[in-house]
Structure 1
């Protein structure tokens, strides 16, 4: 059966997360339902595999998944057909490509990239409602950068790990945390870019929630290093809400979508 890789964009608000669930809407379920209208294998219950399982309310601009299909589609026509059958769900197939059988969306990945959007202003968000985390107070971006520097590298991230995390080890290598600041009408937007081979459950949201406390002046930057060293979930700052988080890229040894 030919294997295809899909680059998927979605608004996570209507979904209980990426992973298919029997009694709740999921992004995986929406894509598989669209595939079932096109392919006999999915009509009988075949599954797709994704690079990462985003939680309820989390968005994606470049999720990657692969599927084994009975029909050898032209990739462009496959993407077009899927987008037709995905309507009106807020899910889009940005690209499709044929890949070899040894490609796996999850296990072949060498890095994941996440973006977290945080806006600081008094007036409620309108156009970005449900797409950003909003706080009322301005933040100190330089202090957040100083704090973030303590987290880059290979560490035991127990402090920033959900109690429900199923990873075999809390030790991860965080390759990059970059904090950008830009003006918005009557406020500021802060964008947190995080890059690693893999992440623990709730790691990004735990880190950003902690950095927000530094930016607000409630924590000194060095307190983040102390929290990391404590290896104690109780030392973590607040876990920020999911709706500012985006899976924005997955890296592979060779880009499967390259022409």
Structure 2
């Protein structure tokens, strides 16, 4: 058996999420079907992160095992030939060691959240960003974001569907960039709670709109109750940017 590590890019708007579900087409299902068509082998793929419906992937990583000894180029190009009608692309395929696991071998994950702050609705970037029509205070958002850095109980920033045994997470880095009307928020950590990034972003935007103060982040973290945090930001703005090994 040969283990392959693949790098995947996808637009999440057309799928129910990464993980296979009965209520619609998933990214995992589509890629597994493509592997079956290419190799004749029914294989399960394992991803670094199980993104939700509407969330995009710029650097998703997954692995799977094959009996056939195919080249890396054959895997990449062959899978892409079966994915032409989908919003999914295999950017790279590499043979790897049998102890490599896309999820458990990951040391860090980095997410990107895209916001466009303008009065006009989105056209080209529709379903690819969160459009905010009211002007927001980026300086306050940056002040608030710094309060997330480090190890904290982030119970207030996870969804009711989160299955993680602990809400203790360590945020390594948050970077915020603005170019014209585009705002990009980069968040890096070893792992994340379900909907954590989207709830963090939703809360930061409330700070930027003046509905909260930057210092409120401290009390929200301390109280550890979901109702004290902001709304969950739309899935359309979230991207799994990179997985570090």
Give the TM-score taking structure 1 as reference length: 0.93
Aligned to 1:87: 84
- Pairing 1:166–2:163 present: yes
User: Within 1, Cα distance between the matches of 2:75 and 2:48?
Assistant: 20
User: Within 2, Cα distance between the matches of 1:161 and 1:21?
Assistant: 21
Alignment of 1:30-179 (within 5 A): 30-42=30-42, 46-179=43-176
Structure 1 SS opposite 2:210: coil
User: Within 1, Cα distance between the matches of 2:142 and 2:128?
Assistant: 23
Structure 2 SS opposite 1:37: helix
Gaps of 5+ in 1: 253-259
- Pairing 1:3–2:6 present: no
Aligned to 2:192: 199
Task: Return the offset for 1:9.
Answer: 0.2
Gaps of 5+ in 2: none
User: Within 1, Cα distance between the matches of 2:23 and 2:220?
Assistant: 38
Aligned to 1:257: none
Task: Return the offset for 1:182.
Answer: 1.1
- Pairing 1:220–2:217 present: no
- How many residue pairs get matched? 245
Structure 1 SS opposite 2:204: helix
Q: Is the CA contact (8 Å cut-off) linking 2:4 and 2:94 kept in structure 1?
A: yes
Q: Deviations over 1:84-107 (max 9, x none)?
A: 011200000000000010000000
Aligned with 2:229 (options 218, 232, 236): 236
Q: Deviations over 1:163-196 (max 9, x none)?
A: 110111000101011111110xxxx111100000
User: Within 2, Cα distance between the matches of 1:68 and 1:40?
Assistant: 13
Cα pair distance change 1:23/1:161, threshold 3 Å:
closer
Q: Is the CA contact (8 Å cut-off) linking 1:40 and 1:70 kept in structure 2?
A: no
The CA RMSD measured in Å over matched residues stands at: 0.8
Q: Is the CA contact (8 Å cut-off) linking 1:143 and 1:214 kept in structure 2?
A: yes
Task: Return the offset for 1:23.
Answer: 3.8
Q: Deviations over 1:234-255 (max 9, x none)?
A: 1111111100000010000xxx
User: Within 1, Cα distance between the matches of 2:108 and 2:34?
Assistant: 28
Q: Is the CA contact (8 Å cut-off) linking 1:160 and 1:203 kept in structure 2?
A: yes
Give the TM-score taking structure 2 as reference length: 0.98
Task: Return the offset for 1:40.
Answer: 2.9
